[in-house]
Structure 1
């Protein structure tokens, strides 16, 4: 059976590295984002199909899976990578923006996992990979909404990993503990490899995905060799 990977919250950073690596390995790639215009170049580069969806809306998540199935087939790997955050002192935070943070960071993860699992149970297996952050395990000052969302996403991953592993569904959560390298965030000359290389992170996603089920990992932390923890 061919591997169809749906990457939700796709963009030009980590998700792009995952998409390129998975495509190189022969996976069929579906990319989903609220604004698919930003996916045009990546989709063309790797031959992926793009889909528009707001992960915080149940109807749009359901339709996303239907659209992917109709165009490519039912995905058997789903990567959840959306992110949104609002920062500031607790008393100054806008409740609407806090709710949006929770919707995108955590509630959307539940919606996507639920739709994926319905299909994986019929397929007899699958994998759901969640992207976490330092905030998944550490609540930083003036970053309460992001910590709330990432803590919740980690709790979701841990709970459903225990529920679904006996059903041959591998759930894994990745704590990305550090800054990810990008065109606008390069390593200082005097501190090489002090940020996480997105291609290296993607390789870990692939390695976890290919683990024998007799020795599955539900969570892994990744950080640069100079990062304190």
Structure 2
């Protein structure tokens, strides 16, 4: 499977079904470029730290990738119960959860492969996508992915950031992006599923940021074999 070949299958309480192949979202939206809503334009609530220019980019790439998920959730509550099945490579995961949490998991994968320059740094972690990950799992994966990246940089003769100094900036930028995308979705949705999915992502980004600023041993117990 390609990097972003992950299939999400949602079954809602009314037995309606929505399916999403993450790798197909960009191609699907490109085919409908003339029919995209105003909230997908780059200048519409553009993130304050976005490096893209509206002279070169008519649409926000992340917003374009989110158009179809936003359409599907626009009339649904974030706390609606759903059964979500995620298939990637040789693994299938099924869970009964809230629409907010299921969409948060999907959006965390859509972002890195959308073409957004802010979320691009998350592609290595997204290639090993863990659906519906807990805050502790996200923290573990964020730290592990970043440190492995530094090891690979060092092997290539590049400067390595073993103190994870730049990781704080990465997650600070992600929190600002989540705020900007929430503003876009508020203008497009009558219910709150899409917006609350970004709130959920922001909470996870905040968790990583807080630990980086003042680590208090959150992962020590899981690594006691290294610390004994």
TM-score normalised per structure 2: 0.29
More helix by share: 2
**Which structure is richer in relative contact order (CA contacts within 8 A, separation 6 or more)?**
2
Computing the radius of gyration over CA atoms, which structure comes out larger, 1 or 2?
Answer: 2
